[in-house]
Amino acid sequence: MMVKQLIANRVLALQQALQPFFETVLQDPAHGERTMIANFMTGDPQEPPPPGFVEALQRYSVPTATDWFAYRFQHEPARQAAATSLGTELGVEFTAEDIFLTRAAGGAIALALHTVVDPGDEVVFLSPPWFFYEAMILASGATPVRVRLEPPAFDLGVEAILTALGPRTRAILINTPHNPSGRIYSAAALQRLANGLAEAAVRYGRPIWVISDEAYSRILFDDRRFVSPGIFYPYSMLAHTYSKTTLTPGQRLGYLALAPGLPQAETMRAALLHVLLSSGLAMPDAVMQYALPDIDGLRINVAAIQRRRDRMVPELRRQGYHVPLPEATFYLLPQAPGGDDRTFCALLAENGVAVLPGHVIELPGYFRISLTATDEMVERSLPVFAHAIQHANSSALRT
């Protein structure tokens, strides 16, 4: 007998949402047989981790008690270290009981969604997004509602977000600093958003949550300052990760923080802990929790990332590319000459340079460059970028 359907409809939907990622990133030409001179595809490490990272993992891998490797649901010294650090960064006080340790920011976002979303609810997210937002919303049982950010500035579209709200809206998932544009949302924009959400809560009879992905809050350029929506809106949950600040994405460590001043905070604390335990024990491994206070103070070399930005942006502009200057994150976001990101990125790959085509992040006509590549890769790639735009322009003239 032929079985008509083995998997859930929501899984079919999230498979479709993830198809560009599977077809492009997991088929990264840098992982194939072609020799690549520069891999800008993803924000993966291509240099050793910050000094102290390996030593921390080694140190806390050695047991000092018989129960060293027992279940560690929420290691209190780690929660306190994260609360202190986040409070210093944002200029407000966080308590350890409002920090929930997770497997990086992705785990924190999933925890937040599964805690507040019911089937039939809607979750607004901003496009271009991180690869996984739509699929994560679908996995939670909610309906994704996208709001597009307008290039080239990619400013927070407060009016567009508020227009997208309705009686089924349960949460808004935002990302600041924004991947892929590198935009840091302003305090004024976040305040307008908070005011609009407060009005919508009265209109619809329940609060609308802000889930703020703040993975790049410590990867800032030109001495800029990061501002969190949690400062302005109490119904906020802030997702943080050490995978970006230490550029160790395979070691999953982060947390979800409840915003200061959240009404009925004790109810949320209990709910988050129950969801954390019922969703496959989704807390970090014990060793990562022990190491968090040491890891919290570590950083990748942000000055080196900015140096690569400052080398590439002027040179790409000189070559004829349209590329904004990012304020934060690891990424550059040039327009693809000719407007066809698939064809142009394939041309770069044929000449040994791997970049991310924009259609993978809902931004056709652009491509993303990750500055986690080495300085040597940057220098080797620049002649290839020059050749590629010349080829694209000459091809356009022939058509």
pLDDT digits (tens, 9 = 90+) for 40-78: 999 999 999 999 999 999 999 999 999 999 999 999 999
Per-residue pLDDT tens digits for 95-104: 999 999 999 9
Report whether the peptide linkage leading into residue 177 is cis, meaning its omega lies within 30 degrees of zero: yes
Are 171 and 123 spatial neighbours (Cβ–Cβ below 8 Å)? yes
Q: Is residue 35's pLDDT more than 90? A: no
- The two tokens of residue 119 are 């089937």
264: phi then psi, degrees, rounded to nearest 5 = 55, 45
Quote the pLDDT of residue 112. 98
* 90 Cβ contact partners less than 8 Å away, ≥ 6 residues apart: 226, 227, 228, 230, 231
Q: Which domains does the chain have, with CATH numbers?
A: 9-49+300-398 (3.90.1150.10), 62-295 (3.40.640.10)
Per-residue pLDDT tens digits for 221-260: 999 999 999 999 999 999 999 999 999 999 999 999 999 9
What's this model's pTM, rounded to 2 decimal places? Answer: 0.95
Pairing of strands 331-332, 254-258: unpaired
Q: Identify the band that residue 397 occupies on the pLDDT scale cut at 50, 70 and 90.
A: low
Per-residue pLDDT tens digits for 104-122: 999 999 999 999 999 999 9
Quote the pLDDT of residue 26. 81
How many whole angstroms separate alpha carbon 356 and alpha carbon 372?
A: 13
Q: In the chain, which residue ranges form alpha helices assigned H by DSSP?
A: 9-24, 53-60, 76-90, 104-116, 133-139, 158-164, 187-204, 242-245, 265-278, 286-295, 302-319, 341-350, 375-398
Per-residue pLDDT tens digits for 248-292: 999 999 999 999 999 999 999 999 999 999 988 789 999 999 999
Quote the pLDDT of residue 1. 58
Per-residue pLDDT tens digits for 123-154: 999 999 999 999 999 999 999 999 999 999 99
Q: Max Cα separation, the chain?
A: 73
Q: Is residue 3's pLDDT more than 80? A: no
Quote the pLDDT of residue 396. 63
Are 257 and 271 spatial neighbours (Cβ–Cβ below 8 Å)? no
Mean pLDDT of the chain: 95
How many whole angstroms separate alpha carbon 181 and alpha carbon 176?
A: 10
Q: What is the DSSP string of 350-365?
A: HTTEE-EEGGGGT-TT
- The two tokens of residue 97 are 């009981």
Q: What is the CA radius of gyration of the chain?
A: 22
